Structure 1
Amino acid sequence: MGTTPGRTLGPYVLADLIGSGGMGEVYRAHDARLNRDVAIKLLPVAFSQDRDRLQRFEQEARAAAALNHPNILSVYDVGAQNESPYIVSELLDGESLRDRLRKGPLPERKAIDYAIQLARGLAAAHEKGIVHRDLKPENVFLTADGRVKILDFGLAKLTEPVGALSAAPTREAGTAAGVVMGTIGYMAPEQARGRPADPRTDIFSFGAVLYEMLSSRRAFRGDTPADTLSAILNEDPPSLTTTNPAVSPALDRIVRHCLEKEPQQRFQSASDIAFHLGEVNETRSSPTTALAEVAPRRRRLLPTVLAVATIAILVGVTGFVVGWSRADRQPPRIQQVTFQHGLVTSARFAPDGQTIVCAARWDQGEYELYSARFDSPGLRPLGVNADRILAISKTGEVALLQDLTQVSGFAWTGTLAFVPLGGGAPRRAVDDVQYADWSPDGASLAIVRRDHARGVYSLEHPAGNALYQTTG
């Protein structure tokens, strides 16, 4: 474009060029009205020739501006002057993730921190119905103060259609079936096949980016763009634990779950990924990490530990029975809290000791959460679907199960979700869970999860960190 510094675009005065690419040039500029520095991206004049494309671009830019999330680039304004469309956004200080990766892989703790922020930004966009479709290291910015910013939401819709595949930037962004969009090397299999994208498409790209953050190698690559597409469709990347031995197996499993070929087999939401990454991060700083490092030794000691535990339980029961026989016993007081007839699957006391929360259904309806108090008879619906309530933390966080599936007999598993006791939308976290309970401080959760493929159960604390696994 060759725009001369000092040129004005409405109230904005362009200064120096700070970047350029296939989508145009980015300038530092000054907003005279608000007396602040901003970034302005000037788009190719050719885009102004297509009214539909320009309209879609403006709609996408407004949607990105409406997100208002700390991990998404803030868009301030859009406009056009002399047939040159432009976007005005916040001016960032730092470097792109691509620039950082040229220096080598990120330490695991830093990669997890960045990945959690990235997942939260994606989750915010997905909740608004916006799918990025072109997530890659070039579109992730790391600020000097450690924040992650997702760039260029929706700009892929403006890219010119190209007849031949290449490894360079973004492809066509139309929504018609059969049109390939995204960047080769980071696009999901359904994108490579020209199928419509949804949030799970971004989750695949997220997995490819996180893989590269941890290994400094692309998850999928080939000698030609066609070879790279073939790898995306048919091959799995090498295990992170082999390319970088410092990567924990739990983190490797998260990345692999993101990179499943079929969308329904991946994480179903970016918020789920953020939860699991947080659990891995907690495991790294938790004393329970040491358990994983001495797993073989723990297995040898398990019979002894069980024997000691059995003796302790017997001693405890004996003491309880003796104490019970000697104490002045008061008969239990039974108080009815509801007069409705239905099925209550589970109930727990809230931290105040006066509130009961239960999962129940009436008249063949859906299972929901209800609360009751001793001083106010009757159940009050909390507006949350729940097949079973598992535990309530000391901070009032409810762990519950949704979408129960019968395994055998009286054994059921479901999706673990969380909801504040005060109400709100459940946050789905882990599939195939049978039991769960909070730690005493309410900061983490121990779960029992079933591996349906192998027919075994694992005790995990936190989720993803197996402390014990059955043999069948």
Structure 2
Amino acid sequence: MVHDERIDELVEEILDSDRTPEEVCAELPELLQQVHDRLRKVKAVAAQVDSIFPSTTARLKAIFKSESTKEVSLPTIPGYEVQAVLGRGGMGIVYKARHLKLNRVVALKMLLTGSYASPTQLLRFEREAESVAALRHANIVQVFDIGEFEGLPYFTMEYVGGGTLSERLNGVIQPARESAKVVRDLARAVQVAHDCGIVHRDLKPANILLAEGDAPTITDFGLARWLERDSGLTNTGARMGTPSYMAPEQMTGASNSAAPAVDIFSLGAILYEMLTGRPPFRGENLSDTERRLTTEEAVSPGRFNPMLPRDLVTICLKCLEKDPRSRYSSAQALADDLDRLLRHEPILARPVAPLERGVRWIRRNPFPAALAFASFLMVGLISGQAMREMAQGAADRAEKARLTSRFESGIDLADSGRFAEARAILGKLGDGGFTDLRQRIDRARSDMELAEKLEAIGIKRSMSLVAPDSTWQPHRQAAAAYEELFAQSGLGKVGDSPTTIAAHIGMSDIEPPLIAALDDWAVCEADVARRNWILQVLQHADPAGRSDWERRCRDPATWSDGETLGRLAESAISARPSVQQLRALGDRLSAASLDATAFRLRVQQQHVDDFLANLSLADAIRPTDPRESIRYYQAALAIRPASATVHNNLAVALTNLGRSEEARLQYEESLRLDPNSVASRVNLGLALAKERPQEAIQLLQQAIKLDGKLAPAHRVLGEIFLQEQRFSEAKASLQTCLSLLEDSTQREEIAELLQKHSANLLP
């Protein structure tokens, strides 16, 4: 029967999960009745074996769930504590178990048919264990042990408890960078298998497990092939694999159906589904899927997801080439190109040229091509015009490619924080009359404006006061500003689905700045529930490419744990995270009363030309060594001369050293750059209080208009009013200050000041 193998696969999928026949046949409704029939036959055979071979009852009945209770008895296997059933198949079952001596949780896969298994079943089971045991890679499930229990072969594997990629996808488009990182990691693992002479042949989302941090892990090597040794297990002409993810040569049973190129095709199919929410070839029924796989080119994923980077589309389609020779030469070559994409470097793959696409169509459709050629001869007069239009079209494509390349250079600059240069490129870039490019340019300029605002929030929270108190809360103000800006930009609101917000971030041209803003927001957020929500967004927005260090750094469970923070600080430099993350870790060390200054010094030494590294170190050492801090403030200004925050904080250091005139000039420069800087107005007002009190009063009143809840502004203003003998105004300012303060010591100071001048302050 034509579809026997596919029916067997569907039946096995039913037995391997809690899904119903209707669920597994959702896309193949024409096979539903045949699947029901086959499932009944399989269960009938099991019942017959149960009656003929009573000794095998305990072993076989575990295959099938009880229709009433859906419970199974768990076997007692020496050396293991079997805890639960993870999945069932037509031949075997997978348990969750604990190795008693090593106290390690494992997945235990057992061939339940045992001595009644066919030679092919036994060979495949043994081959799966042998294949995986031969491989050592973080993204390939590891085999620990092989054994036999009461005639039933089994092997134990690494337990991966995060579900499958198929369950994660479920028709949902994934962020572009996350998708590229996942497939890059998978390609590296596949290359290790190929180097060992093993071809998987059944790569698909259902065979990708998600480990801690959503790291992808390849499993199920049941169809794997040893290139040098296997023979006869799968005959030429037999189709092995899953149609929506298998290469055309697998579908036709060609002689090269077990070559490494089939895995590259499957990786491309996985990438395609992550980018579009659907596999590349999916027909109305199985026959239609097979026809499309073997005769049609994959529709560009950009058709379903116009926001995709052009280079990622090119990489995906190269994997899905019909001719294996046109795919990547190796899985490592695919991983390398994805790495180039993630680093914003030019990729090696090139889109298929229009002429080549036309030749391929003619080869697949010779009769329609002949008719088209005859028609072409009959309309010779029109052909000249057509050629001119084609030439013009080629020129237009070349011009669009040039403009797009320039556009992507601007995006790369924005991602690295070089906004002025990016703005210069995008501001002058024409669209060549291409509407889609105009839309991308406009969207990128809007995104870049958002990125600049987010970065400004992160920098402004470092703004310092000469005499801060409990009402000076730049972190809380930054958290509120981040929340407001994320909502205004349409990225999402606090409490929205983290996966939805992550998807929005993944489709943005400014993904790295958005990730950096989330990291900083998490540090600024005082509310634990809100911070955990931010960390959940980060887990979904930046999962696959994160290092173990980054995963631990963003773990809500150990966020404030001093021991964990210390270990993170020790290993931070070698982990090579972003400077934004290192700055955030420094803030957490300070909050935990750990040595943040030494850590920030190591960060600065590793990133001597980085603005944030120098600013953070200067702020850390200013209270104890203002003279030394000046050197790092000046280094930060050399990188960004127009930073109002650095000019203000440099002025605070100069004030601490008694260099008042130099400090005044720096405060004035800070206000020139940012007229709405409350801190600079308060600091400058304090600096001018004695010599130029009227200017100081004006500055402080302006600061209060910007932020009426900042107690130091009211206090300094009240003291100047006392100095100027404007007692009623002094009383009002000092009483307002008193009402804002929560710190008892500071309240006592203001109360004493009011008491000291009580005679003058009486109405």
- Which category describes the TM-score, using the shorter chain as reference length? 0.5 to 0.7
Q: Which of the residues 190, 207, 211 maps onto 1:143?
A: 211
Partner residue of 1:287? 413
| Alignment check: 8 A CA contact 1:48 1:54 kept | no
Q: Secondary structure at 1:8's aligned position in 2? A: coil
Structure 2 residue runs of 5 or longer lacking an equivalent are 1-59, 63-71, 226-231, 345-407, 416-421, 434-763
Say whether 1:194 aligns with 2:253: yes
Q: Supply the AA of the counterpart residue of 1:68.
A: R
Q: What's the offset of the Cα at 1:148?
A: 1.0
Q: Supply the AA of the counterpart residue of 1:268.
A: S
Query: What do the CA deviations read for 1:194-243 (whole angstroms, capped 9, x no partner)?
Result: 12311101111111111001111111011221111111101122211110
| Alignment check: 8 A CA contact 1:44 1:84 kept | yes
| Alignment check: 8 A CA contact 1:14 1:29 kept | yes
Q: Secondary structure at 2:134's aligned position in 1? A: helix
Q: Supply the AA of the counterpart residue of 1:20.
A: R
Partner residue of 2:110? 42
| Alignment check: 8 A CA contact 1:42 1:86 kept | yes
| Alignment check: 8 A CA contact 1:5 1:15 kept | no
| Alignment check: 8 A CA contact 2:272 2:278 kept | yes
Partner residue of 1:90? 158
Q: Supply the AA of the counterpart residue of 1:178.
A: G
Partner residue of 1:177? 236
Closer, same or farther: CA 10–288 of 1 in aligned 2, 3 Å? same
Say whether 1:129 aligns with 2:190: no
Q: What's the offset of the Cα at 1:142?
A: 1.5
| Alignment check: 8 A CA contact 1:48 1:85 kept | no
- The structure richer in strand per residue is 1
Q: What's the offset of the Cα at 1:112?
A: 1.1
Q: What's the offset of the Cα at 1:49?
A: 2.8
Q: Which of the residues 337, 353, 358 maps onto 1:276?
A: 337
Give the % identical residues: 39
Q: Which of the residues 246, 249, 254 maps onto 2:307?
A: 246
Partner residue of 2:324? 263
CA distance in 1, matches of 2:101, 2:323: 50
Closer, same or farther: CA 294–9 of 1 in aligned 2, 3 Å? farther
Query: What do the CA deviations read for 1:264-299 (whole angstroms, capped 9, x no partner)?
Result: 111110000111111111118832886997896398
| Alignment check: 8 A CA contact 1:156 1:182 kept | no
Closer, same or farther: CA 269–18 of 1 in aligned 2, 3 Å? same
Query: What do the CA deviations read for 1:13-45 (whole angstroms, capped 9, x no partner)?
Result: 211112234453221111112221111122341
| Alignment check: 8 A CA contact 2:269 2:280 kept | yes
Query: What do the CA deviations read for 1:145-175 (whole angstroms, capped 9, x no partner)?
Result: 1311000123467xxxxxxxxxxxxxxx933
Q: Supply the AA of the counterpart residue of 1:81.
A: F
Say whether 1:7 aligns with 2:66: no
Say whether 1:107 aligns with 2:168: no
Say whether 1:234 aligns with 2:367: no
Partner residue of 1:71? 139
Partner residue of 1:297? 430
CA distance in 2, matches of 1:233, 1:288: 42
CA distance in 2, matches of 1:295, 1:278: 30
Closer, same or farther: CA 69–294 of 1 in aligned 2, 3 Å? farther
| Alignment check: 8 A CA contact 2:199 2:260 kept | yes
CA distance in 2, matches of 1:270, 1:174: 25
CA distance in 2, matches of 1:189, 1:103: 23
Partner residue of 2:276? 215
Q: Secondary structure at 1:246's aligned position in 2? A: coil
Q: Supply the AA of the counterpart residue of 1:224.
A: N
| Alignment check: 8 A CA contact 2:92 2:111 kept | yes
CA distance in 2, matches of 1:213, 1:139: 14
Partner residue of 1:454? none
Q: Secondary structure at 2:163's aligned position in 1? A: strand
Q: Secondary structure at 2:235's aligned position in 1? A: coil
CA distance in 2, matches of 1:178, 1:222: 22
Closer, same or farther: CA 59–22 of 1 in aligned 2, 3 Å? closer
After TM superposition, the structure 1 = structure 2 runs for residues 372-411 of structure 1, keeping only pairs within 5 Å, are none
Q: Supply the AA of the counterpart residue of 1:153.
A: F
Q: Supply the AA of the counterpart residue of 2:332.
A: S
CA RMSD of aligned residues (A): 2.9
Q: Secondary structure at 1:94's aligned position in 2? A: coil
CA distance in 1, matches of 2:291, 2:426: 38
CA distance in 1, matches of 2:427, 2:339: 23
TM-score, normalised relative to structure 1: 0.56
After TM superposition, the structure 1 = structure 2 runs for residues 348-427 of structure 1, keeping only pairs within 5 Å, are none
Closer, same or farther: CA 23–99 of 1 in aligned 2, 3 Å? farther
Q: Secondary structure at 2:311's aligned position in 1? A: helix
| Alignment check: 8 A CA contact 1:45 1:85 kept | no
CA distance in 2, matches of 1:155, 1:15: 28
Closer, same or farther: CA 61–220 of 1 in aligned 2, 3 Å? same
Closer, same or farther: CA 274–61 of 1 in aligned 2, 3 Å? same
TM-score, normalised relative to structure 2: 0.35
| Alignment check: 8 A CA contact 2:187 2:335 kept | yes
Say whether 1:30 aligns with 2:98: yes
Q: What's the offset of the Cα at 1:120?
A: 0.7
CA distance in 1, matches of 2:335, 2:426: 25
Query: What do the CA deviations read for 1:183-202 (whole angstroms, capped 9, x no partner)?
Result: 11111111011123111011
Q: Secondary structure at 1:241's aligned position in 2? A: helix
Q: Secondary structure at 1:286's aligned position in 2? A: helix
CA distance in 2, matches of 1:29, 1:265: 44
Q: Secondary structure at 1:297's aligned position in 2? A: coil
CA distance in 2, matches of 1:73, 1:50: 26
Q: Secondary structure at 2:213's aligned position in 1? A: coil
> Which stretch of the first structure deviates more once superposed, 102-111 or 272-281?
102-111
Q: Secondary structure at 1:40's aligned position in 2? A: strand
Q: What's the offset of the Cα at 1:94?
A: 0.7
Structure 1 residue runs of 5 or longer lacking an equivalent are 158-172, 301-472
Query: What do the CA deviations read for 1:371-391 (whole angstroms, capped 9, x no partner)?
Result: xxxxxxxxxxxxxxxxxxxxx
| Alignment check: 8 A CA contact 1:204 1:259 kept | yes
| Alignment check: 8 A CA contact 2:124 2:223 kept | no
CA distance in 2, matches of 1:35, 1:280: 42
| Alignment check: 8 A CA contact 2:237 2:253 kept | yes
CA distance in 1, matches of 2:151, 2:104: 25
